[in-house]
Amino acid sequence: MSLDISVSDVAGERHYGPGDLPMAVGVPDSTGVRLQGDPPGRPVAFVGFSAGRFFLQPGPDRQAATLSAGPFTESVWLDGTQSLVARGCEVSFSIVNERLSISVQPDPADRTTAPPVVVNVPEASIEAPVEQTIVAAAYKSGADSGKKSGRGFPVVAVVLWTALAILVSSAWFMFTARSVEVIISPVPETYSVGGALVFRFGPRYLMRPGNYRVTASLEGYEPLDAVVEVSQERAQSLQLTMERLGDSLFVETPDVPEAQVTIDDEIIGTTPVAEHRIRPGRHRMIVAADRYVPDSRDLDIEGGGHEVRLSVDLVPDWAVVTLSSKPPGASLIVDGEMLTQTPAQFDLRSGSHELELRLPGYKTWRQQLVAEPDTPLTLDE
């Protein structure tokens, strides 16, 4: 932010930056804009910046000021046409792009109250005072009157002290608070910022340094409940991101019960899988069962609380082999183990195998065979 605020008042000319906002108007030092006879802790207004525009906010002593010849009761956006009159001074504002010029001059209209008119009365027209006799009243003690005497409760003093305490507390808060912008992506339907003292002003908040709780809700997203820290920086932005709701995953394997399902190298159960919560994004899923070829695929989960239903057809990890011999009745040996006699039909797991046929009086038959998943083979010998 390249803001520049120039001030010309009784203390001379000086410049401020965005870190000096909000700036008090009517303070007896160089931390803000000086007027005439400024009491400590009683500014008439504050100058701030929000949403790309300068604004003017009433201060604790707003009653001592008028804005453009009218009462100064609420915050206004500065456009360079306003004039603030307070404590015998006129404060004018000039805005060019992001440069704000504040000039303090004596009130040109000299808006002061005229002294009372004293009328001289001739002594001859003054009547002589009438003599009166003061008669002393009879004394009665408290016991005689049956009433208790005492001092009344100082209601006025209590009210004045309470008002003073409120004004001092308000001034203390304004000088110690920080201007904070809370940005939540995507924009939620509802959100709130909770803490001890939080005041919202347009898109920004006035908060003292410390921890605050931010909650937000949006359809299709996880509820946001975060604790954020407001630092000592005068103007700052807090950015939060809402996470999209996960989807519900359903997986089934027709004709193959209890197939194992793995998501991102984590076993989530056996089929049928129902309502497994899965986060948005890309995931790797593997469905495997004994004597079946594992099914491996990528899942792109959109999120938002939808249902994702998958039906996985597992391929048998064997080949049906049909084998006959002449003459029949030969012993079939697979990978060194006796299996059956010809003619035969049997299942052979995928891969390379050695087949032998043995029959007394005949030469042994041998063959290397490669079986493909779910691919039938027929051998005649």
The last residue of one of the domains, among 69, 87, 106, is: 106
How many angstroms separate the CA atoms of 88 and 108, rounded?
9
**The domain containing residue 182 runs over which residues?**
177-241
Q: Is residue 346 part of a domain?
A: yes
Residues 100, 10: one domain? yes
Q: What distance in Å separates the CA atoms of residue 54 and residue 84, rounded to the nearest whole number?
A: 15
Residue 11 sits in the same domain as residue 70:
yes
> In this structure, what CATH number is given to the domain that contains residue 371?
2.60.40.10
Partner residues linked to 101 by β-bridges:
6, 94
Q: The CATH number of the domain where 54 resides is what?
A: 2.60.200.20
| 172 within a domain of the structure (yes/no) | no
Instruction: Indicate whether 143 belongs to any domain.
Output: no
pLDDT in tens, the chain (381 residues): 578 999 998 888 999 988 889 999 988 887 889 988 778 878 999 999 988 899 999 999 888 889 988 898 899 999 988 899 998 899 999 998 889 999 999 877 665 433 333 445 455 544 555 454 444 444 444 444 444 444 556 888 899 999 999 888 788 877 789 999 999 999 999 999 987 788 888 889 999 999 999 999 999 999 999 999 999 999 999 999 999 999 999 999 998 999 999 999 999 999 999 999 999 999 999 999 999 999 999 999 999 999 999 999 999 999 999 999 999 999 999 999 999 999 999 999 999 999 999 999 999 999 999 999 999 999 876
Q: Does residue 233 lie within any of the structural domains?
A: yes
Split into its structural domains, the chain has a count of: 4
Q: Which two tokens stand for residue 227?
A: 């604790």
The residue from 83, 106, 129 where one domain ends is 106
pLDDT reported for residue 333 = 96
Q: Which two tokens stand for residue 137?
A: 């009243």
Asked whether residue 302 falls in the same domain as residue 337, the answer is no
Q: HEC profile for 92-158?
A: EEEEECCEEEEEEEECCCCCCCCCCCCCCCCHHHCCCCCCCCCCCCCCCCHHHHCCCCCCCCCHHHH
Residue 214 lies in a domain: yes
Of 241, 257, 276, the domain-final residue: 241
Question: 31 and 96 share a domain?
Answer: yes
263 and 205 assigned to the same domain: no
Is 121 within the bounds of a domain? Answer: no
Q: What is the pLDDT of residue 121?
A: 45
Q: Is residue 205 part of a domain?
A: yes
Q: For position 258, which CATH number holds?
A: 2.60.40.1120
pLDDT at 43: 92
Inside any domain, residue 144: no
pLDDT value, residue 174:
76
